[in-house]
Homo-oligomer: A and B are copies of this chain.
Amino acid sequence: MTSGQTTPTDQTEHRYVLTLGCPDRTGIVARISAFLTEIGGWITEAGYHSDDDTGWFFTRQAIRADEVSFSADELRARFAAEVAAELGPETEWRLTDSRDTKSVVLLVSKETHCLIDLLGRAHRGELPATIRAVVGNHPQLEELATRFEIPFHHVPFGGERKAEAFAELARIVDGYQPDAVVLARFMQILPPKLCDAWAGRAINIHHSFLPSFIGARPYHQAFARGVKLIGATCHYVTADLDAGPIIEQDVIRVDHSDSVSDMVRQGRDIETLVLSRGLRWHLEDRILVHGRKTVIFN
């Protein structure tokens, strides 16, 4: 255990994971499961959702890869030709191979709690991905990243150089081709261009129970309003501030004796948990985004 990360140990089984969304009609499940049976697929997990509100159908299926005599690429080609084509042009699907290790880049500022938590999970092989780099708009967290042998990039955002800084950030991040760009209390608002470029991959943790307390200093807002629970929200980043599709939320109880700094301290625990859960589901291809909402098979 001399490096900063361990090969994921909780997911030793070799699996293919299929996720799919399309307009609903009869026979979709039969079509997909017939295909999986034909190729010899042993389904280990299957989730289905018929959305009455949108008229869409969503599914996620995990099969044992070792019992299938195809590579992931062959499987994709066959699925495209034999199933997806039938389901119509709106169909969105992915097939991933659990052996293709995913990569993550973390964006941070000065707060350590989400960073240490994710470094710890990667260190013990609990995160189904490799943290490739940490990028900070301040230099303070370099030391922590280095302790866990993760490359750190400092991109200063001060003064007039915001546009330039975001361009530099994009170059660095895109160089890693990450499956997830995690704003781990990054404290900078991504410009629309980056929101687009990283759509469905940029994950933020907001320190309130959204849609309450959007924007700056949510614990101060919560304190002023006198709420009895405070929360955290993990969501995909969109150009609409703190309004992207929600992945996960949770809350903890506070009372009149809790000051803002008590809320900040206690809130760290819930931010950490909510972000780590949301990131895990993303990396395990458990989340399907449709419009402003998520379907999560977990």
> Which chain A residues have a beta carbon within 8 Å of chain B's beta carbons?
1-2, 10, 26-27, 29-31, 33-34, 36-37, 40-53, 58, 67, 112-113, 116-117, 119-120, 123-124, 126, 140, 143-144, 147-148, 209-213, 223-229, 231, 245-251, 255-257, 259, 261, 265, 268-269, 273, 276, 292-296
Could you show 25 A-B contacts with beta carbons less than 8 Å apart?
Answer: A10-B265, A26-B40, A26-B43, A29-B43, A29-B46, A30-B34, A30-B36, A30-B37, A43-B48, A43-B50, A45-B48, A45-B257, A46-B46, A51-B256, A112-B123, A112-B124, A116-B119, A123-B144, A126-B268, A209-B209, A209-B229, A210-B212, A211-B227, A227-B249, A256-B293
The interface residues of chain B lying within 8 Å CB-to-CB of A34 are 30, 33-34
A42 to B48, CA, bound (A): 13
The interface residues of chain B lying within 8 Å CB-to-CB of A228 are 246-249
Given contact pairs A211-B227, A256-B293, A269-B273, enumerate 11 new A-B contacts (beta carbons under 8 Å).
Answer: A26-B41, A26-B43, A29-B43, A30-B30, A43-B48, A45-B257, A112-B123, A117-B117, A120-B120, A226-B245, A226-B246
A246 to B225, CA, bound (A): 8
The interface residues of chain B lying within 8 Å CB-to-CB of A268 are 126
Q: How many copies does the complex hold?
A: 4
Given known A48-B46, A50-B43, A143-B1, contact A246–B259 (CB-CB < 8 A): no
Task: Report the nearest B residue to A6, measured CB to CB.
Answer: B112
The interface residues of chain B lying within 8 Å CB-to-CB of A223 are 53
**In the complex, how many angstroms separate the beta carbon of A184 from the nearest chain B beta carbon?**
13
Q: Is the CB of A49 within 8 A of B246?
A: no
**In the complex, how many angstroms separate the beta carbon of A129 from the nearest chain B beta carbon?**
15
A86 to B52, CA, bound (A): 33
